[in-house]
């Protein structure tokens, strides 16, 4: 007698919702996700190595500056002890 009204939205099972990736084999999706994770992990590890290297370089430069200042101070003290410093 009366025609049935369909529900709003996708009413056919098996079709993806708009904006979502198409369904595929689960194994392929897992492999793709694992690949993306590994790429991100390698990038993170490279950035950590670069950060550590920069930190060690900074420490080395600070050590050199500290040694230089100590040497200058020791020379100044030696001059003061000899009565030559002004």
Kindly state the greatest CA–CA separation across the chain. Answer: 120
Rg (CA), the chain: 35
Burial class (CB in 10 A: 0-12, 13-18, 19+), 73: exposed
How crowded is the C-beta side of 10, counted as CA atoms within 13 Å?
Answer: 9
Q: Which residue has the higher pLDDT, 22 or 27?
A: 27
| Confidence (pTM) | 0.49
Do 17 and 10 form a contact (C-beta atoms < 8 A)?
yes
**Over the stretch 34-44, which tens digit does the pLDDT of each residue have?**
999 999 999 99
Q: What is the pLDDT of residue 42?
A: 96
């Amino acid at each position: 007698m009366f025609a049935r009204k369909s529900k709003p939205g996708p009413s056919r099972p098996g079709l993806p919702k708009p904006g979502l990736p198409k369904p595929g084999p689960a194994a392929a999706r897992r492999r793709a996700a694992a690949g993306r994770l590994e790429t991100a992990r390698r990038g993170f590890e490279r950035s950590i190595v670069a950060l550590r290297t920069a930190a060690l370089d900074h420490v080395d430069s600070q050590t050199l500056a500290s040694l230089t200042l100590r040497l200058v101070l020791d020379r100044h003290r030696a001059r003061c002890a000899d009565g030559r410093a002004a």
